[in-house]
Amino acid sequence: MCLAVPGQIKSIEGETALVDIAGNGIRAMIALVPEASVGDWVLVHAGLAVTLLSEEEARETLELMQEKYSIEDS
Amino acid sequence: MKTAEALSQEIAACRSIAESLDRRVTVMEVCGTHTVAICRSGLADLLGENIRLVSGPGCPVCVSSQGYIDAAVAAARAGLTVTTYGDMLRVPGSDMPLAAARGEGARVVTVYSALEALYYAEAHPDEDVVFAAVGFETTAPATALAVKAAAGGPANFTALFSHKRILPAMMALVAAEDLQIDAFLCPGHVSVIVGSEEYEPVAATGRPCVVAGFEPLDVARALRMILEQVRSGEARVENEYTRAVRPGGNPAAKRLLEEVFEPAQEYWRGIGMISESGLAPRGGFRRFDAAERHGIDIKEVPEPAGCRCGEVIRGAIDPEDCALFADRCRPTSPVGPCMVSREGSCGAHYRYSRRPA
Ligand code: SF4
């Protein structure tokens, strides 16, 4: 239930942002990251941006999430 | 395959540190997403004899009391519209789960967030909408926002509050004499809100605490950090999930929680009542309390017969120790919440057959 995913803010209207999460446009509230602006990366949980991420932090998380590996290989 | 290489290095490091210790170290995770990551990756079996990984009260659905489920079912059957996270639907109540109440014609609506429940209330002014507000500090801010928005919005929105704070539960488990927890893998997204500093009181009891992200590499790295502390006789709070977690958490979220809620005693399945472990609405926000507005009673009711969820939640037994596990209790016919929820220990062990080391 506590899962959150990184995405990039495409536009902002009031306290709501359109966030690109892996190619999908998701509406998220940005009340908890008042300093957020278009182009910023955020971590989104249940329709709410819970923290700002640097681009590097976001990409690292996305890579870890996307890289399919099996530890039996190791 | 950079990640796989890094992962195998971390596992090897864990094994070699663990082998150098003269005792077995029990590490508890208190986050359902960690439970799933550990089970799915098979990490528990790869670390060697000296490391025991045990799941704690990390699944928000599982720790909700039987009485809470019953109250939500009763509310739905009494004609209120119950909006809930999907994970709650199939948790057995004393009579029936919410899903069965819906099957009987009660209005039970699955939502993805507290705000969606509020929008539903706005769109359905003829219904009395109750949001089943469960979850730890990760989900509580969204409830707080919805409650604040409701103050100037629809009059037909209330919440059945049962939010939980993880720190008091960890402290209760530390104090339990029958459990020997040596260290904690601390939750990632709860910590985004509360900050890694939250766990200082736990570390002060001599137990290393490391905040971890959700990928197997994050977990393995955090375990290695814990073992290094154990080896050098230290007990500190460390943060592996620096990508998202700051020491002080999210100040805006903490202010919001403070504004809308006050700490209150809260009942945890398996653990019992823990003071200050819940979040009750404060002052003027109390009028959004569904229990008060609609006279809903959350009673203490006994657990389903034979189900050992309570002990599983405390980390006192592994799911396989329950006689019903994989027998009468399966994901398709769950007896207790730990088998229903995607993040429950029993369900995760069943799906990924994690064997206790
Ligand atoms: S296996 Fe089923 S009955 Fe046993 S503790 Fe887990 S959920 Fe309860």
How many CB atoms are closer than 10 A to CB A16? 16
Residue B354 pLDDT exceeds 80: no
Residue B309 CA: nearest ligand 1 atom is 5
* Residue among B52, B102, B55, B44 nearest B341 (CA): B55
Q: Does A66 touch chain B (CB under 8 A)?
A: no
Q: Does A35 touch chain B (CB under 8 A)?
A: no
Q: What is the DSSP pairing of strand B81-84 with strand B108-110? A: parallel
> Residue range A43-67: average pLDDT?
84
Give me the number of domains chain B comprises: 1
Q: What is the CATH number of the domain that holds B125?
A: 3.40.50.11740
d(CA B279, CA B18): 39
Q: Percentage of chain B surpassing pLDDT 70? A: 99
- Residue B334 inside a domain? The answer is no
Residue B206 pLDDT exceeds 90: yes
Residue A2 pLDDT exceeds 80: no
Domain range holding B158?
64-164+249-253+261-294
Tokens matching residue B59: 């699944």
Confidence of residue A72 (pLDDT cuts 50, 70, 90): very low
CB B114 within 8 A of CB B145: yes
ipTM above 0.85, yes or no: no
Q: Does B204 touch chain A (CB under 8 A)?
A: no
Q: At what angle do helices B216-231 and B2-20 cross, to 10 degrees?
A: 30
A64 and B8 within 8 Å at the Cβ level: the answer is no
A32 and B252 within 8 Å at the Cβ level: the answer is yes
**pLDDT of res. B239:** 97
- Mean pLDDT estimate for chain B: 92
Q: Is the CB of B62 under 6 A from ligand 1?
A: no
Binding-face residues of B in 118-137 toward A, CB within 8 A: 135-136
- Residue B12 inside a domain? The answer is no
Name the residue facing A32 among B3, B188, B256 (closest C-beta): B256
**pLDDT of res. A63:** 79
- Residue B68 inside a domain? The answer is yes
pTM of whole model > 0.95? no
Confidence of residue B338 (pLDDT cuts 50, 70, 90): very high
The gap from C-alpha A35 to its chain's centroid, in whole angstroms, comes to 15
- Residue B129 inside a domain? The answer is yes
- Residue B10 inside a domain? The answer is no
**pLDDT of res. A74:** 30
Residue B109 pLDDT exceeds 80: yes
- Mean pLDDT estimate for chain A: 83
Residue B338 CA: nearest ligand 1 atom is 7
> Residue range B311-320: average pLDDT?
92
CB A11 within 8 A of CB A2: no
d(CA B226, CA B183): 7
- Residue B228 inside a domain? The answer is no
Binding-face residues of B in 304-333 toward A, CB within 8 A: none
